[in-house]
């Protein structure tokens, strides 16, 4: 297994980033990651104003996958997510849709024990460990790690978790995979701008699917096929994810478009990943068991 330490990090996904690791097409890689504040926050008394905002959302990488060429899909199976013993949250003024309700900033340290996050003496939450930032280099421009787009990035999708397989479009030779911004707990929406932000380690297994263009990321879980799309406008993100799913069902399973659309209206869940990043992220979830039925009949 290949290993990459957290010192190898980037703040934007770019075709010009120098790879820090070259791996064969079927590699397994362990990424060590900082939290989204690059581990700057050590206690709830730390000064919010003292944070260096140029060091937000680091992603560990980028990794050059030998044989990955533009027009291929980079398939990334999330084998394992390990998180540190405590995470951090911030809330406050101008942060997210409820930011106007607060006139200062608060930092909260959240201990993690026995697969639960200890929010307070009385409130504990089960972990839903996930990867906030994961992506490849865009085709011809830099995109900050805090921004989600067709290349992946800061999608903050809680389904990007252990066991899921993420498909990303390869835009430059080698793909240049990077990831970070783990969350120990997060709900759809991520409304205060963060989840339980936490450092950790992620193990992934890579595969390349040759010559299969992909307009935006897809995710495959045990139960669902998902299309993921990001846009400044939430409605537009919904439209992109829906169109991608409709075309996928038509092309992959041979459903006539009108049937695909009707079936999606019955069975495809349109869900919000997050509404707080520079672009908002939507996912459309289609249940796999319906597709095995369509194929048999
Ligand atoms: Ca994030
Ligand atoms: Zn985060």
Distance from Cα 20 to the centre of ligand 2, integer Å: 23
Residue 296, pLDDT score: 47
Quote the crossing angle between the two packed helices 234-253 and 288-296, to the nearest 10°: 30
CA of 275 relative to ligand 2 center, distance in Å: 13
Checking phi first, is residue 8 left (phi over 0); if not, alpha (psi -120 to 50) or beta? beta
Going from the Cα of 292 to the center of ligand 1, the distance in angstroms, rounded, reads 34
Q: And the tokens for 75? A: 């398939």
**Where are the alpha helices (H) located in 65-220, listed in sequence order?**
none
Ligand 2 centroid distance, CA of 183 (Å): 6
Taking the mean position of all CA atoms in its chain, how far away is CA 236? 19
Ligand located closest to 155 CA: 1
Cα–ligand 2 centroid distance for 191 (angstroms): 12
* Cα 209 to ligand 1 centroid, rounded to whole Å: 27
104 neighbors 114 (Cβ within 8 angstroms): no
Q: Tens-digit pLDDT profile for the chain (297 aa)?
A: 999 999 999 999 999 999 999 999 999 999 999 999 999 999 999 988 888 888 999 999 999 999 999 999 999 999 999 999 999 999 999 899 999 999 999 999 999 999 999 999 999 999 999 999 999 999 999 999 999 999 999 999 999 999 999 999 999 999 999 999 999 999 999 999 999 999 999 999 999 999 999 999 999 999 999 999 999 999 999 999 999 999 999 999 999 999 999 999 999 999 999 999 999 999 999 999 998 765 544
The confidence score (pLDDT) of residue 293 equals 60
* Rounded Cα distance, 152 and 265, in Å: 26
Rounded to the nearest whole angstrom, what is the distance from the C-alpha of residue 195 to the centroid of ligand 2? 6
What is the CA(179)–ligand 2 centre distance, in A? 11
Helical axes 234-253 vs 257-267, angle rounded to 10°: 120
**117 CA from centroid of ligand 1 (Å):** 18
Calculate how far, in angstroms, residue 111's C-alpha sits from the geometric centre of ligand 2: 16
Distance 250 CA to ligand 1 centre (A): 32
At residue 242, what are phi and psi to the nearest 5 degrees? -65, -45
CA distance 235 to 181: 26
Whole-number pLDDT of residue 295? 53
Cα separation, 220 vs 115, in Å, equals 24
Pick the ligand that lies closest to the CA of residue 145: 1
């Amino acid at each position: 297994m290949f290993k990459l330490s957290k010192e190898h990090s980037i703040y934007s996904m770019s075709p010009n980033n120098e790879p820090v690791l070259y791996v064969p097409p079927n590699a397994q890689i362990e990424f060590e990651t900082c939290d989204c504040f690059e581990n700057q926050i050590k206690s709830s008394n730390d000064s919010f104003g003292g944070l260096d905002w140029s060091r937000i959302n680091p992603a560990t990488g980028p990794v050059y996958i030998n044989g990955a060429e533009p027009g291929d899909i980079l398939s990334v199976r999330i084998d394992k997510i390990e998180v540190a013993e405590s995470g951090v949250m911030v809330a406050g003024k101008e942060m997210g849709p409820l930011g106007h309700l607060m006139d200062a900033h608060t930092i909260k340290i959240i201990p993690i024990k026995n697969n639960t996050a200890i929010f307070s003496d009385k409130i504990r939450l089960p972990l839903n460990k996930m990867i906030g930032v994961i992506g490849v280099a865009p085709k011809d421009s830099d995109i900050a790690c805090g921004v989600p787009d067709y290349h992946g990035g800061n999608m903050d999708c809680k389904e990007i978790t252990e066991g899921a397989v993420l498909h990303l479009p390869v835009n430059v030779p080698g793909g240049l995979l990077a990831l970070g911004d783990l969350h120990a707990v997060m709900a759809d929406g991520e409304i205060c701008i963060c989840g339980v932000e936490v450092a950790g380690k992620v193990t992934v297994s890579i595969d390349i699917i040759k010559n299969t263009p992909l307009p935006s990321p897809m995710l495959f879980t045990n139960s669902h096929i998902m299309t993921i799309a990001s846009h400044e406008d939430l409605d537009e993100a919904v439209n992109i994810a829906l169109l991608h799913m409709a075309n996928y069902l038509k092309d992959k399973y041979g459903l006539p478009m009108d049937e695909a659309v009707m079936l999606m209206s019955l069975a495809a869940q349109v869900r919000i990943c997050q509404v707080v990043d520079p672009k908002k992220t939507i996912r459309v979830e289609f249940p796999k068991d319906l597709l095995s039925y369509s194929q048999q009949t």
